[in-house]
Every structure is written in C-alpha cells, then in structure tokens.
Amino acid sequence: MPGLLLGDEAPNFEAETTQGRIRFHDFLGDSWGILFSHPRDFTPVCTTELGRAAKLAPEFRKRNVKMIALSIDSVQDHLSWSKDINAYNGEQPKEELPFPIIADANRELAVKLGMLDPDEQDKDGMPLTARVVFIFGPDKKLKLSILYPATTGRNFDEILRVVDSLQLTAYKKVATPVDWKPGDSVMVAPTLPDEEAKKLFPKGVFTKDLPSGKKYLRYTPQPE
Ligand code: BEZ
C-alpha cells in the first residue's frame, strides 16, 4: 500500500520545484521538514493555505523546519499561482514564495505518498491530491502525518503547535496534554518511574488524585 507510516524514512525522491530540481534528503539536510500537499493550483482553499504558510515561514525557520509544498501542476503554473498567493497576502504579486512547491503534474509522488483524495476529481475524472502534512525529524523519519480531504482547509497555527510539541517531546521525557500550548505544563512520560521523574524535573512533579487510585496524571512545568 502506498503512503507513509510514523517512523518510516522519507523517500529520497527527486523532483522539479519552483526553486529548481531537488533530491529530498539533500533538501532536508539536518533540519526538521514539513511537506504539505494541495489539490490543485488556482483553487480557493489552497490559495488561502499557501498564503498562511508563507506568512508563517519565519516561525517555521525559527524552529529549524524546512518547508516544501506539493501540487499536481507544472512549475510554470506554480510560479504563476504564486503571484496570486502573494497578492492574496497583500504583497507584491511576485513569483517567489519562502518555500518551494513540487511540480507533481503526473501524480507520481502523490500516488507513492498516498496523497490522493478519491472523492475529489478533475474534469478528466482523475483524483486530486488531498491535504496531507508530513513532518520529518532531523533523522528523516516521519514524526507526524495529518490527512484532510480537499474540501477542508488546515489550520497552520495548529501545525506550528504540533511542531513545538514534537520538538519538545523528542528531547525531553514528556508528553503534551490536550490543547497544550508552549509554556503550559506537560505530562511526565508514562514510562518514566517516579524516582527518575523527580530527579529529571527539578521544578516538581504534581500528581492529580483519581478515583482509581492510580497515579498516572503526573504534571511538570514545561522543561527548558
Ligand atoms: C480548494 O482549494 O478550494 C479546493 C480544491 C479542490 C476541491 C475543493 C476545494
């Protein structure tokens, strides 16, 4: 079955993009990476998404995350569409965006990565790309995937929030609870014994009493 599962290594594909030909692993280098797909150029929801992604590019850069988009049209179409995206953002209608867009006109990558949405088709009855987000760690392994249908735009603030959670939990023995935001308390990883948790989190570990008597809700202030 095509597609990527958590822990899979990013395929080292070659592709034409709006910033030249790339080999994916070289593009990622030692950084984190986000690959996000779009159904088609010159479509309304995609235009708003790419506009938002462009505005948030400095935030991704701050977090050492390289951004790359994919849509099933040509480089020329992508460049022309980029002018609309910049204009939508209230900027000069230039062809440059702060990230490349992969030209996957023959859908080769979209098929390989399991990105097609069978419910949304072009005029020839060919499926369009769904709204996939893949986030890769510096080890090039898939850390998170999100899959939305073509008709539902994503929330890029949420994507930044999950990057913050992924990066925190990659380096500290914690997990982030529901609706967590940077700066909120975090949960001590369930696998960490109490004694070790006390040593590892000098700001304190706070346990919430529960009817079961089990002490598994262990909070600690977000570690530095
Ligand atoms: C859009 O980007 O607006 C869109 C694309 C394909 C299907 C539905 C909406």
Q: What is the pLDDT of residues 13-67, one digit of tens each?
A: 999 999 999 999 999 999 999 999 999 999 999 999 999 999 999 999 999 999 9
- In percent, the amount of the chain with pLDDT more than 90 equals 92
Region 191-215: what's the mean pLDDT? 95
Helix axes 75-88, 44-62, angle to 10 degrees: 80
In a domain, 28, yes or no: yes
Which structural domain range is residue 137 located in? 8-154
* One domain, residues 121 and 185: no
Tell whether 95 and 123 lie within a shared domain: yes
Same domain, 184 and 107: no
**87 vs 14, 79, 97, 101, 209, CA distance in Å?**
30, 13, 11, 17, 54
Same domain, 103 and 201: no
Number of structural domains, the chain? 2
Question: CA-based Rg of the chain, rounded to a whole angstrom?
Answer: 20
Alpha-carbon span 49 to 6, nearest angstrom: 24
Same domain, 22 and 107: yes
What pLDDT shows up at residue 1? 57
Residue 215, domain CATH: 3.30.1020.10
- Does pLDDT of 224 surpass 90? no
Marked catalytic residue, from 10, 46, 72, 109: 46
Clarify whether residues 43 and 79 are in a common domain.
yes
Q: Please check whether residues 80 and 35 belong to one and the same domain.
A: yes
pLDDT higher than threshold 80 for residue 176: yes
Distance in Å, CA 122 to ligand 1 centroid: 10
Helix (H, G, I), strand (E, B) or coil at 195: helix
Residue type at position 43: T
Same domain (yes/no): 79, 44:
yes
Q: Is residue 143 located within the same domain as residue 182?
A: no
Give the model's pLDDT for residue 118: 85
Q: Is residue 79 part of a domain?
A: yes
Whether the predicted pLDDT of 214 surpasses 70: yes
Mean pLDDT of the 65-83 span: 97
Which amino acids bring their CB within 6 angstroms of ligand 1? 39-40, 43-46, 120, 128, 150-151
Asked if residue 176 and residue 141 are part of one domain, the reply reads no
**Does the annotation mark 104 as catalytic?**
no
- Determine the pLDDT at residue 2: 73
In the predicted structure, residue 200 carries a pLDDT above the cut 70: yes
114 lies in the same domain as 176: no
In a shared domain, residues 89 and 21: yes
Identify whether 18 is part of a domain. yes
CATH of the domain at 57: 3.40.30.10
Output the average pLDDT for the chain: 96
Q: Give residue 117's pLDDT.
A: 87
Tell me how far the alpha carbon of residue 48 lies from the centroid of ligand 1, in angstroms.
Answer: 11
The whole-angstrom distance between residue 111's C-alpha and the CA centroid of its chain comes to 19
Taking 90 as the threshold, does the pLDDT of residue 193 lie above it?
yes
